[in-house]
Structure 1
Amino acid sequence: MNSPAPADRADANDVASLYKYLRVADVADALDGIGYFDITLVSQEIRPLWEGMKFWGPAATIRAVPANKPMWQLETTEEIVRAHGEWFDKYPPVRLPQEELPGHVVVMESGGGREVGFWGSENVMGTIGAGAVGIVTDGYCRDTAEVTLQQNPICVRGRGRTIIPGRIEVVEVQGTIAVGGVQVRPGDIVGCDDDGLIVVPAEVAEEVATHARAVLLADMEARRKHYRAQSRPDDETVDVEAVIAYYADL
């Protein structure tokens, strides 16, 4: 029986681990190389909320639609504080099971509704705390200063101000959705960095990772020559040996 790969090594049985060092640009090049031109590039309208964000993981999907029923007027401060509870008591939400979060990117199609901060600092922190490696939504996030301070990884179309009741409801989880002009299915590999977002269909994810790794290493070698010529100290972006060591067991 094969021994499990060390935590700092790629695991051939864990496709997401094959993407750890890859840049979105490397993966885009690899997808081009096998004929997947542009169809997996998520619209640049959906962007990382803060700079330096990077994640890769299989998708866990949520589909939401605009609510077709209004929130009622609340009478007391206590009711206003627990407005979500009031709404969800009457209209129980559809949720992703907690066991489906670890290692996954939660991807949400918001249904094109009006401004609503479905995601905010509390549920973003809870989702990442439950093991998700990132969140993507074609809708809105609020409390964005706090989310940025927490460095919790979420990519959004816009910054919002309002809350869920009477505005949006989740109708399905773990189905096929569309986000930023791209189809996303549970298990597709979703990646993000400062260049934007990309989705890799599950059936080509291993092949794409192999090609993208070669693209990355060739680029690192080329840039390291420039570093040496310009007497720049090496940094992690040209640490070829670390990348080779990470993938050594494949």
Structure 2
Amino acid sequence: MTAVVDALRALLPAGDLTCALSDALGRGGALDGTFRPVWPGACCAGEAVTVRTFGTDLSPVFGAIEVAEPGSVVVIDSHGIGGAAFWGERTTRAALARDLAGAVIDGGCRDVTAVRRLGFPVFSTAVVPNAGLPGGRGAVNVPIQAGGIPVSPGDLVVADENGVVIVPRDFAASTLERVRVLLAEEQQAFVQADRGVAVPPDATEEGRPRSE
């Protein structure tokens, strides 16, 4: 899995990697469009450390940071709560100290100026000043739902300015290979487009679409 994550991270700077990943997953895998980076240009890739919150309790978020391996992405299922923030400057600093790759929150983030200044990639469905409170409830590294997509611990999370894509752990290696094929095909299509030839995407023999 480490090799797959490293390969995808190497592709991130080119931009729009989540689009190729979604294509490789049959035009699926993306969390809904409410997930946005809290600062322009944010991107990340890593294995998911999942969090299921209880109400506005922040405790499991800090718990996830403490147990996360370097390079992980914290994925928080707050059940769509948009009136309280589950991430901010304190969690960002703690995550950076643990060398985590990013955070994805089905809920609110705050301290966005500090998060941007610190350069930590955060994707959330809301930005709100209200902070949650610790209460000792919630769960870490359990199956969750985020943006209509199931996420399990260890699934691959890739996020850029287009949004967030979840790749099930068991399909990570095959998805990477498919992405490489799609990107090569896309470059050929771009050459034709630059010549004034518009080539629509086709379905592969496996029934999965080529790039647009």
TM-score, length-normalised on structure 1?
Answer: 0.68
**How far did residue 128 of structure 1 move?**
2.6
**Counterpart check, 1:175 vs 2:169:** no
Cα deviations by residue, 1:168-226 (Å, 9 ceiling, x for unpaired): 76510000000111100011101111111110011111101001011113323544677
Contact 2:61/2:76 (8 A) holds in 1: no
Structure 1's unaligned 5+ residue stretches are 1-11, 69-83, 230-250
Mark the CA change 1:50 to 1:134 in structure 2 (over 3 Å): closer, same or farther: same
CA deviation profile, 1:111-152 (whole Å, cap 9, x unmatched):
333511221122112213311101000111111122122221
SS at match of 1:98: helix
Matches within 5 A, 1:1-250: 14-20=3-9, 21=11, 23-32=17-26, 37-38=27-28, 40-66=29-55, 95-96=63-64, 98-113=66-81, 115-165=83-133, 170-223=137-190
The answer to whether the Cα contact below 8 Å between 2:108 and 2:126 also exists between their aligned partners in 1 is yes
Separation in 1 of the partners of 2:159 and 2:124? 12
Task: Tell me: CA distance 1:204–1:220, structure 2 relative to 1, closer, same or farther (3 Å).
Answer: same
Query: 4+ runs of 1 displaced by more than 4 Å?
Result: 224-227
Give the 3 Å change call, closer, same or farther, for CA 179–135 of structure 1 in structure 2.
same
Residues of 2 paired with 1:93 and 1:51: CA distance?
Answer: 24
Q: Structure 1 residues 27, 130: CA separation in 2 closer, same or farther (over 3 Å shift)?
A: same
Paired with 2:61 and 2:74, the residues of 1 have a C-alpha distance of 16
Question: C-alpha separation between the residues in 2 aligned to 1:187 and 1:203?
Answer: 9
Q: Percent same amino acid at aligned positions? A: 26
SS of the aligned residue for 1:137 comes to strand
Tell me how many residue pairs correspond in the alignment: 191
| TM superposition shift of 1:103 | 1.0
TM-superposed deviation, 1:99:
4.6
Which has the higher Rg, Structure 1 or Structure 2?
Answer: 1
| Aligned-pair Cα RMSD in Å | 2.8
